[in-house]
Amino acid sequence: MRVFKFGGASLKDAEGIRTVGSIIGLHTDTELVVVVSATGKSTNLLEKVVYDYYHQTGNPQQYVDEFELTHLSIIKDLFDPEHNIFHQLNKVSSDLKSILSTKPNASYDQIYDSIVSAGELLSSYIVHAWLNHSGIKTAWLDARSVIKTDENFREGRILWNNTLAASKSIIPPLFEESKVVVTQGFLGGTLRGQTTTLGREGSDYSAAIISFCLDAENQTIWKDVPGVLNADPRKFENAILIDKLSYREAIEMTYYGASVIHPKTIQPLQRKNIPLLVKSFINPEGEGTLISADGNSIYPPVVVLEMNQILLQISTRDFSFVAEHHLSDIFKKFADVRVKVNMMQNSAISFSACITNQADKVDRLLASLRDQFKVEADDDLELLTIRHYNDSILHELKRNRIIILEEKLSDTVQMITKRVPQLKMKD
């Protein structure tokens, strides 16, 4: 049994879904679980719905309409008008409109999960329908019935014993009728039947959970890049493919923000020594990257650039030392809002933390911190991380940047930077 995961880039339009179907059609010689993300930018649209609905501002219905029209365009290109998938689309849209018809009566995060989950559900309906339409007999699985989490909405923590039992009970019988099972990434369910999500971009993690529970032969993540590169090709020229990575190196890369794999993905696979392949759906014949217990012994410099960063300077109001009990209070506030610290430093009278600018979370965090501390926030920054660095690449990457904060380890450098506009002489 194998597990495939397809992200939103591969499902953004009808042609992409046809390509996904073609790839799956080449791998029906064994039992296959297909985990899908929401199509294209659906999650971004639904996040706007959540924000406007919760705050009762703007017009959230316009984003629901856009979400519906985007998917309508896809399914019209794939199916005859009589196909049942149109009913599925109407049901998902009606469910969203039903939520909007009432006043918010739950936390932001719980509402987020109930609304944003529509993207993955609809995407899985479409892929499931297309595979069956193409002659690939496929079963549909509600991921919420097998991936069990606590009630930590928006970042559900896996209840492993419950998830293992549910996976082994529910999924194998589906293979008795179909070689292929389609399910959603990103989604989980509480023991009380509430919808949760696993953190932004969590579909990779979903696939790893299923791989672990069913002892998969391997897992493949299909991307719009040739595999794991040493830098984001959209930001850097001459990025090169890394053909083999160890689990350890992959974990380090994802920890520092490499976006090709979700940070939580590796650990379940490593526990059972399940190989992870990262391949291109644009060029499925390419070798891609193999992540396993055995990786390369030498790696090229690996560069991760995270945009939209905020640097928080946190200090006591009376300029007393930032002591252990202060740090404990600070970290608890970060944990309560579930904000990840990307880089940190502390001095005698201040603590500095670099975080990603997620508006709804940052606002709550700042309000909480300012109850007890003096806080200065500097935004519109970049966090640059270089693993396996050398002097040449450090010199190159520091050009036209102001270094606000820097931390250097034996094999990793992190820098919080601000771009310097380049001045050019007039002719």
Two domains, one topology: 2-216 and 302-419: no
Q: Give percent of the chain above pLDDT 70.
A: 99
The superfamily in CATH containing domain 2-216 is Acetylglutamate kinase-like (3.40.1160.10)
What's the pLDDT score for residue 212? Answer: 98
Average of per-residue pLDDT across 244-265: 87
In percent, the amount of the chain with pLDDT more than 90 equals 84
Average pLDDT, the chain: 94
> pLDDT category, 408, cuts 50, 70, 90?
very high
Dihedrals φ, ψ of 332, to 5°? -65, -40
CB-CB contact of 150 with 156 (8 Å): yes
| Element (DSSP H or E) covering residue 311 | strand 302-315
- pLDDT over threshold 70, residue 385: yes
Domain locations in the chain as residue ranges: 2-216, 302-419
Structure tokens at 232: 């984001």
Contact predicate 42/123, CB 8 Å: yes
3-state helix, strand, coil in the chain (%, to 5): 40, 25, 35
Mean pLDDT of 198-214: 94
Q: Which residue has the tokens 């008795």?
A: 176
CATH superfamily of 302-419: VC0802-like (3.30.2130.10)
| Burial class of residue 345, CB neighbours in 10 A (0-12, 13-18, 19+) | middle
Higher pLDDT, 126 or 337: 126
Q: What's the mean pLDDT in 225-249?
A: 91
Banded pLDDT at 109 (limits 50, 70, 90): very high
**Strand duo 244-246 + 187-189: pairing:** unpaired
Query: Going edge to edge, which strands form the sheet with 218-223?
Result: 138-140, 180-184, 32-36, 2-6, 218-223, 276-280, 289-292, 244-246
pLDDT of residue 427: 66
Q: Quick check: 362 and 342 in contact, CB under 8 A?
A: no
pTM above 0.95, yes or no: no
> Are the CB atoms for 383 and 416 separated by under 8 Å?
yes
What is the number of other CB atoms lying within 10 angstroms of the CB of residue 324?
A: 8
Q: Is the predicted pLDDT of residue 423 greater than 70, yes or no? A: no
Report, as an integer, the average pLDDT of 372-395.
Answer: 94
Mean per-residue pLDDT, 137-164: 97
pLDDT in tens, 297-337: 789 999 999 999 999 999 998 888 888 899 999 999 999 99
**Res 294: pLDDT:** 87
